[in-house]
Amino acid sequence: MSEIKQSSTNFSNKLALSEECPEAYAANVIGGQWTLVICSWLLSGKLRFGELKKKLPGITERMLTLQLRKLEEHKIITRTVHAEVPPRVEYELTEIGYALKSVISELESWGTSHKKLIG
């Protein structure tokens, strides 16, 4: 996740697509394995690292960290560290992050009907 090779064909393909197609751009931004699910949990309010971890059975701490960092970088969430011991870190959607709500709900309803259709 962290390492992308700016000389690769893949990189330039993604870049070109992103520039021409907003939907491909969006897919690149929110396209991680756990990204959408994290956001969909955050839609109902801020959560701590450990709380998110519990809500995502199977995710590793490394993966959760990486995805949260990426989301933060893209200004989709904010990260607030409370100076306590043990530490408390809270994640919350920004405005543009919250705007993902309609994307998520469209995906949900499409996914539901597709699943129903296909079995």
Residues that bind DNA (CB under 7 A): 1-5, 7-11, 13, 32-33, 48-50, 58-63, 65-66, 68-69, 79, 81, 85-89
Partner from DNA, a second copy, none binding residue 107, C-beta < 5-8 Å depending on class? a second copy
Which residue, among 70, 96, 80, has the nearest Cα to 46 in the 3D structure? 80
Q: Which stretch binds a second copy (CB under 8 A): 18-26, 44-52, 64-72, 84-92?
A: 18-26
Mutual orientation of helices 35-42 and 22-30 as an angle, nearest 10°? Answer: 80
CB of 29 to DNA, least distance (A): 11
CB of 105 to DNA, least distance (A): 22
Q: How far, CA to CA in Å, does 56 sit from each of 10, 61, 64, 72, 99?
A: 29, 10, 9, 18, 22
CB of 91 to a second copy, least distance (A): 18
What are the backbone dihedrals phi and psi of residue 11, each rounded to the nearest 5 degrees, phi first? -60, -45
